Structure 1
């Protein structure tokens, strides 16, 4: 989440007149994340999140995302559906951007997950995968394996301004991962971005899974690998927490199942996830507008994670 497009209180108040949600009380931009423009909105009736979709989210993909949210919510997953206006529409336009008003879910995102919280997150991911097993929608992974080499080329030698030799290092790692990538496996719709800031918790209980705008069709285990890279390290990618890692996998295994073959596939998938996030963070680091209200994420934190996975089997 972030703020690239600014919405005035007057424009938002007029926008809310389309809905049966009361009158605007307050609005606050959300700086975390890098993808869309997001605001906490409080009205006289309830609290919501207003999302304006920026360039990485195509307007044509929004029906897929919103159908997905409705599908999993109907199967008991704590995911926030969009709010329909008085005419039944959920996709709107505000300040020249596609926009949705999303139901607010209680809970907070944890910065330093405990094993108990990681276990709950793993179980929630498994529950999400079960709920998505009969989802008919499909969407290519625009940031999957086939996209990494072109993105590396677009970043080019500018990556070396972040750290000397970074372009060559990611190229080496990408070649190795591509050669070892699983050729088969269970494919379906996945979240693809289940970082701690996309999981809402109250204590050790998951109260919401949010920010599904990278959801796509890919290897189910890649989703677990992404989550492992996001939950099991400190913010700088320097320290791996074995207790958190074991708990995350245990929660997923209890909820969905995890075979020996699954565990054997996870190391290369995790290395791939590290390359994906190092590249997209690197691109954002080089190209984020100076005046955007957004928290840039350090690409080197994912390079350090990559080194961990290259040195030892963390699964």
Structure 2
């Protein structure tokens, strides 16, 4: 369950009065997701998504998220830019929290078992389009979930990390030290998604039709964003690497945006970094899960296995 802030019909009606979105018909909570509260909202005019931003989303970052998605929409990419109110505002307040309405997209997300190399090739092309689109996007946001953020999580989880896997605390500390020594410099940067998991991508007839959930987006290395996508899409549910998906994703990406020599050389480091990023957040949530929160945290072992794979240099280009 991921409805942290229940809303009744009268609250939704009051919110809709701030928009030219039609009259209220119905709404229902969306149980998927772990970060914010989302609802399907049906009106006499349209079907929309209402997002209520919970405490783990810093509302001071909303202007960046909204500017980024607005820019991508202007560049012809399908993603949820916020619907403007009657006063041309991108967000409102409901139940004492910031909220926004977004267009609903048809299509469906894929499970790991459903992903094919063809899906990965199309995803690679779409990600390249996203990266090319931000060449003239000047708004920036520092990525607070990079090396310094991982170190803070390592400090917090160190005493209990071995409850998840014997030796994990030492593994994390050693890997963080290695990453500091090998961190790539001067790679192409821009606004990037940083959470391009299968549940954040919708497909229709085998093609990407929308990308959603931009609430980790920030300014960072384009190739790091690519590495996150590789880790998310090119391993199966048993954490086995799928070289066919890897090759297809890279091929699709480089059809539109060939990697620089420096990016290609740095990719093994970035794949390890992308593994650590999700290992650390999942480890933290696993160890410090609030039992009142009905959302089951993700198992950090999936990213322990990815990290081990990349540490061994097992990659098929």
Q: Shared topology, TM-score over 0.5?
A: yes
Aligned position for 1:204: 206
- Residue of 150, 153, 166 corresponding to 1:151: 153
Aligned position for 1:89: 89
Is 2:23 the partner of 1:23?
A: yes
Deviation at 1:26, TM superposition (A): 2.8
Deviation at 1:295, TM superposition (A): 4.2
Q: Is the 8 A contact 1:4 1:293 kept in 2?
A: no
Higher relative contact order (CA 8 A, sep 6+): 1
Q: Deviations over 1:54-108 (max 9, x none)?
A: 2232111111111111111001111111111122112111122211111111111
Structure 2: gaps of 5 or more residues: none
Aligned position for 1:292: 293
Q: How does 1:131-142 map to 2 (within 5 A)?
A: 131-142=133-144
- Residue of 192, 195, 206 corresponding to 1:193: 195
Aligned position for 1:261: 262
**Comparing 36-45 with 90-99, which one deviates more in the overlay?**
36-45
Aligned position for 2:307: 306
Aligned position for 1:34: 34
Aligned position for 1:116: 118
Q: Which runs of 4+ in 1 moved over 4 A?
A: none
Work out the CA distance in 1 between the residues paired with 2:59 and 2:288: 22
- Closer, same or farther: CA 282–28 of 1 in aligned 2, 3 Å: farther
SS at match of 1:15: helix
Q: Deviations over 1:284-312 (max 9, x none)?
A: 22333323343421111111111111112
TM-score by length of 2: 0.94
Deviation at 1:217, TM superposition (A): 0.9
Work out the CA distance in 2 between the residues paired with 1:85 and 1:268: 44
Deviation at 1:53, TM superposition (A): 1.4
TM-score by length of 1: 0.94
Q: Deviations over 1:250-302 (max 9, x none)?
A: 11101211244322211110101111101111112233332334342111111
Aligned position for 1:234: 236
Aligned position for 2:173: 171
- Closer, same or farther: CA 288–31 of 1 in aligned 2, 3 Å: farther
Work out the CA distance in 2 between the residues paired with 1:272 and 1:3: 31
Work out the CA distance in 1 between the residues paired with 2:252 and 2:119: 10
SS at match of 2:174: helix
Q: Is the 8 A contact 2:126 2:208 kept in 1?
A: yes
Q: Is the 8 A contact 1:31 1:293 kept in 2?
A: no
Aligned position for 1:60: 60
Work out the CA distance in 2 between the residues paired with 1:167 and 1:5: 35
Work out the CA distance in 2 between the residues paired with 1:28 and 1:171: 44
Deviation at 1:220, TM superposition (A): 1.1
Aligned position for 2:131: 129
SS at match of 1:157: coil
Deviation at 1:15, TM superposition (A): 1.6
RMSD: 1.7
Structure 1: gaps of 5 or more residues: none
Aligned position for 1:12: 12
Work out the CA distance in 1 between the residues paired with 2:33 and 2:272: 22
Deviation at 1:230, TM superposition (A): 0.5
- Closer, same or farther: CA 80–233 of 1 in aligned 2, 3 Å: same
Q: Deviations over 1:139-187 (max 9, x none)?
A: 0000012211111112232222222332222112221122111122112
